[in-house]
Amino acid sequence: MKLAPIVIFTYNRPWHTQQTVEALLKNEYASESDLIIFSDAPKNEAAKKGVEETRSYIRNITGFKSLRIIERILAWLIILLMVSLPLSMSLEG
């Protein structure tokens, strides 16, 4: 049976992330499933510790067929703001 990958989006909540992963691991097909995790960058200093703790946890996940982690170095909010700038205000001039 071909299984769809499992995708999780994380931010700065390590406990919630752990609870989600533990629930997924209880699934009988977990060991046959690919897990993809997107970890967004902290938006500010207040979120930094939570993001670091979350990333520390996800880097050590086992029990799935494969694990792929995509860690953003810039928060999506910053990227969206940059993309939304009018051309006359772009960083390129």
Average pLDDT, the chain: 86
What distance in Å separates the CA atoms of residue 21 and residue 10, rounded to the nearest whole number? 11
Asked if the model's pLDDT at residue 27 lies above 70, the reply is: yes
pLDDT of residue 85: 54
pLDDT value, residue 73 = 77
To the question of pTM greater than 0.75 for the whole model, the response is: yes
56/77 Cα distance (integer angstroms): 23
> Per the structure block, which two tokens stand in for 72?
């953003």
Instruction: Summarize the confidence of residues 59-85 as an average pLDDT.
Output: 78
Is 37 in contact with 65 (CB distance < 8 Å)?
A: no
Average pLDDT of the segment spanning 79-87: 55
Band of pLDDT at residue 44, cut at 50, 70 and 90: confident
β-strand partners of 34: 66
Lookup result for tokens 């996940």: 61
